[in-house]
Amino acid sequence: MLKRLPGYGLGWAPNRRIIAIAVGLACLLALAAAAATFTGRGTRPHAAPPVPPPEHGSASPTGQPSSGSGPVAGPPRISDPVEFAKAAAKMLWSYDTRTTSQAQQLAGMEAWMTKEGEYGDWASVSAQIPDPVLWSRMADQKQHATATINEGHYPAAFKQALSEDPAAITKAYIYAVTVTGKQTITWAGGGGAEDRSLTLAVQCRPSADCSLVAIAPRVAP
């Protein structure tokens, strides 16, 4: 009997192109290969140069979510990469099979994606939820999950890469952000909580709201 969804939020798609997109520099391809596999807790980088934030313009300063697609909350209208990545991680780690179909969950997640097709990697994001058959089995058990976010930060290698080539970010304004938190899962007759960590690529162009680009196959410290 299925009691919880193993690894929901941890289903890394084996696609190193994600890191290349997020960083825009070849050196971070090595990061994808060398980064440790998911350990349940991210590592905050130390002594790394600051990352230039995106310019703030017409994006809403309130951080209120836009209209979502069905039961899934829409993306917040903010232009800060770390705050957006934290909101995206919370969305990815939250679900309710009692009220949401697998198709509705996918549609809600897709609303967070960048509209610039040359950068978005929908496969890495959609891989975070199970197929319709498993989702149906989860619904039979009334499985649902909520998430709390501990922190978000730019990976050390991302900071280092930008310090070496600050202009690299200005082509696509895509940032790598690692987020840690906790996911609480409840099902009929039980429940539990687990630490979560993932690295996301988010796009935050000047004078525009942020959007989700991809999820990295490894957690970058």
The better pLDDT of the pair 166, 25 is held by: 166
For residues 6, 9, 10 and 12, what is the CA-based torsion angle, rounded to 10 degrees?
130
CB 199 within 8 A of CB 218: yes
Local structure of 113: helix, strand or coil:
strand
- For 14, 62, 146, 153, 215, the CA distances from 201, given in Å and listed in that order, are 15, 22, 22, 12, 6
pTM score > 0.85 for this model? Answer: no
Check residue 59 and give its pLDDT.
40
Is the per-residue pLDDT at 60 higher than 90? no
- Other C-beta atoms within 10 Å of 168: how many? 14
CB 171 within 8 A of CB 24: yes
CA neighbor of 219 nearest in space, from 184, 181, 187, 189 = 181
Is the per-residue pLDDT at 131 higher than 80? yes
Quick one: which H or E segment has residue 177?
Answer: strand 174-187
Question: What mean pLDDT comes out for the span 170-182?
Answer: 95
Provide, for the chain, the percentages of residues in helix, strand and coil under a 3-state DSSP scheme, each rounded to the nearest 5.
30, 25, 50
Check residue 67 and give its pLDDT.
43
d(CA 130, CA 97): 11
Average pLDDT value over all residues in the chain: 76
Tokens read off for 68: 């979502």
